[in-house]
Structure 1
Amino acid sequence: MKQPVICIRVLINQLPRQLRRGIYEMDERFTQASGTHVYTGCELLVKGALESGVSLLTGYPGSPLAEVFDVIQRNAELLKNNGIVAQIANNEALSIARLNGSQMADVRAIAFMKSVGLHVASDALAISNLAGTTEGAVVVVGDDTWSHSTQVPADSRFLARHVYTPLIEPSTFQELKDWVNCAFQISAAADLYVCYLTTENQASGGGNVELQPNIYPDITGLKRVNLDTELIDADKRVVLPPHTAQIETETLQERLPTALEMARHLGLNTIQFARETSGKNRFPLGFVSAGLAHSCLLHALGELNLYGDIPVLKLGMTHPIDADIVREFAEQIDEIYVVEEKRPLLENEIKALLTQMYQDGGIKRYVNIWGKQFPDGLAGIPAASGLDTSILIQKLIPLLKHRLATESGTGDSEEADPLVDLRHFSREETLQKAVAEQQIAIPQRTPTFCPGCPHRDSSSVFLEITRQFMDADYMKKHHASGPVDIVFHGDIGCYSMLKYEPFPRLMHNLSAMALGGGSGAGIDNKQIVFMGDSTFFHGGLAAISDSIKNNQDIAYIILDNQTTAMTGHQPTPAGELDILGNPTFAQDIELVAQGLAGSSEIDIVRTNPEDRGHYKKYLEKPILKP
């Protein structure tokens, strides 16, 4: 006998259309063609795309890049007036597919997503990247290195290498904007997509930058083109064996080296604060860094009165690494210290490069590379979470004392390299300790739903149901059965906060985006799966179909609040307007669920959680249905 799969759609009262549309005045900062102005990191990414002649902006909202889509929405008039297409894809993989299609014409296209979104997009990115580019395709990824709003640790550098994309890591806010154009130039020249890595601190922070005029593209939504199919190279665009191996060889031997040459031409990799050295006069140490870690490093050196005194190799393109500039840097110093967030990726790659050079005779001495471990038992750069200036100061003071300073045996005076001020180091250590010991009385609270959110009503009703279902007297009286212990599954969305008080009873297991239903296979308990409306369109349809196909005894609670709430209230496919305010077909979740259920006996109930009495009645019987 088939087990029921119940799709319950939870609705809220609809706002009047004119209120839901939103009224935005075009932000003049996004048409400013010269001078300076202040922007957030996400705003700089959009301004950088406009200054680069972009035709298509797409992606899927996720912290720390969710604000990008708010910026796009606020500047809808500017984009529409110039025919620039902006679309939120149903998921990250579909946004890469849009980039793939865009590269059949001479246009520039850019996609935005968070780190776990890149996981979702990786299959599409791998094949699209090998198919190549025309004017350029850029994938902007936001890494939440501190895991403030991301369920798994983020380090997208590894995935970029896995799919053969060049990787750019801007450091300053000026670079965050300007290097978008560099990424497009590299993409077009190398015939590869470019991954453009930002972090939470960069995306959510901001600064004052110098501006350039916007470049409006020739091919737009207002000036469309027809492709001449006779000119499409199917062997290139359709990546299939036996051509895959040939394309891989071409990528490794020609396309990635071209990306590196373009990065050299654009000056993305630089040796800062180089010293005149020769032979035995090398500087004792130097640093290698990239991205936000580089900014933190310079800040830390400044706080230690060492800014500009120690050589630093700044890598703007971190894949592929420029072996020539690494060799040049290594010849100037005795030891290299790599400062990077997360795992030792740059450290290990630079070790491999210099070891190979030493073995091949390209350099005359072995160069020690340190990073996550410092010499003589000193603690190195943390491999977990992110970096900030204070962390680096705490790690660098012992190292610099050890490598650059000496103390006299009397203890009454200090002798040191003029570069190092040990008394200043001591004052800085005292300051760091004092700051660490500060006790700030902030009320502790866990994340919860926004006031007025319908998830509050849904959760409160389910909390009552779970309590009553475990009450033998209640179950005997109302349902003529014994107690029922419900297992709750969830995935990524607002409802994942059910883990916290007052609702921890409603979250036993968490799966990846849209996969909560799949985690219930093989369990005999009655099961509930929470799913959001945006998640439903992201991939939840497949999970529901899978449950139906495999006869799971499971109830899907689709919490439809008509918005992508957790990332900033971006529109969903169920809405009547797209991100630019254009009318669009509103897809009905209930009708889609009915299409999946077909002629089966699966219950699909539509109800409003504000009417708690009726809502509870609707829930109890379908959940207990044999």
Structure 2
Amino acid sequence: MSLAEIRLDDKYRLATGHLYLTGTQALTRLPMLQHQRDQAQNLNTGCFISGYRGSPLGGLDKSLWEARDYLKQHAIHFQPGVNEELAATAVWGSQQTNLFPGARYDGVFAMWYGKGPGVDRAGDVFKHANAAGVSPKGGVLLLAGDDHGCKSSTLPHQSEHAFIAASIPVLNPANVQEILDYGIIGWELSRYSGCWVALKTIAENVDSSAVVEVDPLRVQTRIPEDFELPEDGVHIRWPDPPLAQEKRLNLYKIYAARAFARANNLNRVMLDSPNPRLGIITTGKSYLDVRQALDDLGLDEALCASVGLRVLKVGMSWPLEPVSVHEFAQGLDEILVVEEKRSIIEDQLTGQLYNWPVSKRPRVVGEFDEQGNSLLPNLSELTPAMIARVIAKRLAPIYTSDSIQARLAFLAAKEKALAARSYSTVRTPHYCSGCPAQHIHQGARGQPRLGRYRLSLHGAVDGPAHRDLYPDGRRGRQLDRPGAVHRHPAHVPEPRRRHLLPLRQPRGACGSGSRRQHHLQDSLQRCRGHDRRPAHRRRAARRPAQPADLPRGRQTHRSGKR
């Protein structure tokens, strides 16, 4: 019996199978699966991918470049953007391919990626493009990289509210397998409803890895039979007046998304009881935290069923599909909503249950309890231990035990031990060795921004504490002329780092390969002096400063004093 051939590129080479993938690799494999699905349906489709890197999607472009040969086999074109909004505009253009004669494909499905601040930046494009719609055989999936714990950002952020403002449905995967499954569902949902569809990503699922089932036909979607679309459809067209777009979006497309979620069972009861009393509704990463919390309390499936505990996992957090929620709420005394950051599901749930008879309407708690006291705070990230304490508290009127109390005491002791420092030394943060243009002169006002630039806020990095913050891509523009309103000197001149060209595929270490290839995130960061400045400007920068008493320019040249 011969051994099977195993290669590092099996994650892209093998058509089907159980493969070990990271979340980033799953996102790279995702458009290949969609193309395989289209081929199985005799559709001649292409794919367009664009965006701008940022954690937790900081390595997606590198992964796509590494898989370029496999992308080409599936008619997938990857072009990173100058910034997030221009990348979104290019994605919007991919949906207009079939509006004009000469298209080479039946449709182009597209994927955009960007960090949370990039979602904010591209908001105007998202609103216009989602109102216009997608190609019937195209579809758009938006990958939003969120940072709930502010681990690599200037502010903690979540993208759901920005997508809600643009009327874009939001899918919330919990793990690597669901990145693949929900990604396929997202494109199918986009084609059916005419909406752009968002896929929320966080470090917990993108940076994790797992053995997943890779099969283009693993997900079988169904078209709703109980929802009637307008006669002229919900897809992009030309001409298309703005008020017609608004009518199509508000009267049909959002409700088509809810009908699709119901037909494809995106909201699933994961734990049930014959006599339910307490219900838990959760989504994404918080679902895994809930399951861990139940395990920490010793509540297995059999015990949950006997004490009356029921759990609903929501796949599409906005818009919340109401039929499955109403069925879940039947007979419950209380519903606990577990979600990180500002409420999304809880606010929709209370509105959907508002008109229920008071005798049948369950209490809804989550961010706050029924007395208005904080229950699950919307600060930073939730932990299984925090959720376990809340579940035990809400479950106490129904069921408690010495085992639960002992486990709560163990969790409290563990958290206290982890919070206590076991060392006395403190390591001062510093920039990476050789990182150019990071030194801030003593007494100058620093310019920290995202990622490594936030180190200057610690106050002990290459100089004094730095007080200035600014949005990404707008360095030093808080006050266009600081001297006009402030007596202190202007900021230190900006280093030669600009955001003008898209990132390109790296070819080697710094200084090797073509000058047009850049290996750092800022595409024009200096590399052995090749910072894209014209030659005369580089020479001028190296030229010694002239004494202040000497005349300059043409007068100097004529007088022969140069």
Report the Cα offset of residue 444 of structure 1: 3.2
Structure 1: any 5+ residue segments left out of the alignment? 1-24, 216-230, 237-242, 278-282, 406-419, 468-485, 540-560, 577-586, 595-602, 609-613
TM-aligned CA distance change 1:534 to 1:521, over 3 Å: closer
Contact 1:533–1:564 at 8 Å: present in 2 too? Answer: no
For 2:186 and 2:214, the matched residues in 1 are separated by 17
Residue in 2 that maps onto 1:387: 382
Among 40, 48, 54, which residue is 1:56 paired with? 48
Rate the CA distance shift 1:455–1:322 in 2: closer, same or farther, 3 A: same
Deviations 1:205-255 (A, max 9, x none): 22221111599xxxxxxxxxxxxxxx993223xxxxxx3233222212101
For 2:319, the equivalent position in structure 1 comes to 320
Which letter maps to 1:122? Answer: G
Preserved contact between residue 93 and residue 121 of structure 1 (Cα < 8 Å): yes
Structure 2-normalised TM-score?
0.77
Residue 88 of structure 1, aligned match among 70, 74, 80 = 80
Judge conservation of contact 2:498–2:523 (CA < 8 Å) in 1.
no
Give me the whole-angstrom Cα distance separating, in 1, the residues matched to 2:193 and 2:178.
21
Aligned-residue offset at 1:530: 6.5
For 2:518 and 2:428, the matched residues in 1 are separated by 21
2:289 paired residue number = 296
- In the alignment, the residues of structure 2 paired with residue 288 and residue 193 of structure 1 have an alpha-carbon distance, to the nearest angstrom, of 25
Inter-partner Cα distance in structure 1 for 2:491 and 2:517: 22
CA-to-partner distance for each residue in 1:240-291, whole Å, 9 max, x for gaps?
xxx32332222121011111112222221112223335xxxxx221011111
1:476-495 to 2 correspondences below 5 Å: 486-492=444-450, 494-495=452-453
* 1:71-150 alignment, distance < 5 Å: 71-105=63-97, 106-134=107-135, 135-150=138-153
The correspondence for 1:259, drawn from 257, 260, 263, is 257
The alignment status of 1:43 with 2:43, answered yes or no, reads: no
**Equivalent of 2:457 in 488, 499, 512:** 499
Cα distance per residue 1:492-521 (max 9 Å; x no partner) = 464443334232437331100122232123
Task: Identify the residue that residue 339 of structure 2 maps to in structure 1.
Answer: 340
Q: Does 1:399 align with 2:394?
A: yes
Question: For residue 510 of structure 1, what is the aligned residue in structure 2?
Answer: 469
Matched, 1:193 2:201: no
User: Using a 3 Å threshold, how does the CA distance of structure 1 residues 619 and 531 change in structure 2: closer, same or farther?
Assistant: farther
Identity percentage of aligned residues? 22
Q: Deviations over 1:159-218 (max 9, x none)?
A: 110001011111232111111010000001111100111112111122221111599xxx
SS of 2:379's equivalent?
coil
Moved more, 250-259 or 488-497: 488-497
1:163/1:533 CA distance change after superposition, 3 Å: farther
Are 1:422 and 2:402 counterparts? yes
Provide the rounded CA distance (Å) in 2 between the counterparts of 1:213 and 1:504. 54
Distance 2:492 2:501 in 1: 16
**Structure 2 unmatched ranges of 5 or more:** 1-6, 36-45, 98-106, 219-234, 503-514, 553-562
CA contact (8 A) 1:60 1:88 kept: yes
User: Of 233, 257, 261, which residue of structure 1 is paired with 2:237?
Assistant: 233
1:65 to 33, 51, 57: 57
Answer whether contact 1:147 1:154 (CA < 8 A) is retained.
yes
Q: 1:290 to 1:590 in 2, by over 3 A?
A: same
What's the counterpart of residue 476 of structure 1?
none
How far apart in 2 are the matches of 1:214 and 1:275?
Answer: 32
Q: Are the equivalent residues in 2 in contact too, given 1:490–1:530 (CA < 8 A)? A: no
8 Å Cα contact 2:113-2:143 kept in structure 1:
yes
Separation in 2, partners of 1:121, 1:491 = 19
Deviates more, 1:29-38 or 1:168-177: 29-38
Assess, with a 3 A threshold, how the Cα gap between structure 1 residues 570 and 38 changes in structure 2: closer, same or farther.
farther
Q: 1:121 to 1:378 in 2, by over 3 A?
A: closer
Match of 1:352 in 2: 351
Answer whether contact 1:605 1:618 (CA < 8 A) is retained: no
Residue among 583, 590, 614 paired with 2:533: 590
1:528 aligned partner, one-letter code: H
Q: Match for 2:171 among 144, 150, 168?
A: 168
Maintained 8 Å contact 1:495/1:531: no
CA distance in 1, matches of 2:22, 2:546: 45
State the AA in 1 paired with 2:434.
G
Are 1:208 and 2:211 an aligned pair?
A: yes
Q: 1:392 to 1:534 in 2, by over 3 A?
A: farther
What's the counterpart of residue 285 of structure 1? 278
Q: Which residue in the other structure is 2:246 paired with? A: 248
Mapped partners of 1:288, 1:348: distance in 2: 12
Which runs of structure 2 are paired with 1:3-14 in the superposition (5 Å)?
A: none
CA contact (8 A) 1:31 1:214 kept: no
User: Would you say the 8 A contact 2:448–2:455 is kept in 1?
Assistant: no
SS of residue matched to 2:327: helix
For the residues of structure 1 that align with 2:210 and 2:252, how far apart are their CA atoms? 37
Q: Verify the 8 A CA contact 1:62 1:114 in the aligned structure 2.
A: yes
- SS at the partner of 2:167? coil
1:491–1:515 contact (8 Å) kept in structure 2: no
Compare relative contact order (CA 8 Å, sep 6+) and give the higher one, 1 or 2: 1
1:572 aligns with 2:535: no
1:434 CA displacement:
2.9
Cα separation, 1, equivalents of 2:517 and 2:401: 56
Of 413, 427, 431, the residue aligned with 1:445 is 427
Task: Give the helix-richer structure, 1 or 2.
Answer: 1
| Matched-pair contact (CA < 8 Å) for 2:280–2:338 | yes
Q: Identify which of 436, 441, 444 aligns with 2:416.
A: 436
1:28 match: 10
Contact 1:455 1:495 in 2 (8 A): no
Provide the alpha-carbon RMSD of the alignment: 3.4
Is the partner of 1:51 in helix, strand or coil?
Answer: helix
Secondary structure of 1:201's partner? helix
User: 1:65: Cα distance to partner?
Assistant: 0.8
Q: Cα distance 1:353–1:347, how it changes in 2: closer, same or farther (>3 A)? A: same
1:384, distance to aligned residue in structure 2 (A): 0.6
Contact 2:499–2:524 (CA<8 Å) still a contact in 1? no
Question: Using the alignment, how far apart are the partners of 2:86 and 2:190 within structure 1?
Answer: 20
Q: Distance in 1 between matches of 2:80 and 2:174?
A: 27
What SS does the aligned partner of 2:239 have?
helix
- Flag the 1:423–1:588 CA change in 2: closer, same or farther, 3 A: closer
Aligned residue number for residue 550 of structure 1: none
Mapped to 1, the partners of 2:545 and 2:21 lie a distance apart of 49
CA distance in 2, matches of 1:436, 1:320: 39
Cα distance between partner residues in 2 of 1:85 and 1:446:
43
3-state DSSP class of the match of 1:372?
A: coil
Partner of 2:512: none
Report the Cα offset of residue 435 of structure 1.
Answer: 4.1
Per the alignment, in what secondary structure is the counterpart of residue 519 of structure 1?
coil
Distance 1:515 1:303, change over 3 A: same
Which one-letter code corresponds to 2:393 in the other structure? P
Q: Return 160-169 or 196-205, whichever deviates more.
A: 196-205
Matched position secondary structure for 1:451: coil
TM-score w.r.t. structure 1 length? 0.69
Contact 1:379 1:395 in 2 (8 A): no
SS in 2 for 1:58: strand
The letter of the residue matching 1:84 is I
Aligned length: 479
Secondary structure at the residue paired with 2:333?
strand
What are the superposed Cα offsets for residues 66-120 of structure 1, whole Å, 9 maximum, x if unpaired?
1211211221222234442111101000111111011123111101111111011
**Which residue matches 2:491?**
528
Q: Secondary structure at the match of 1:528?
A: coil
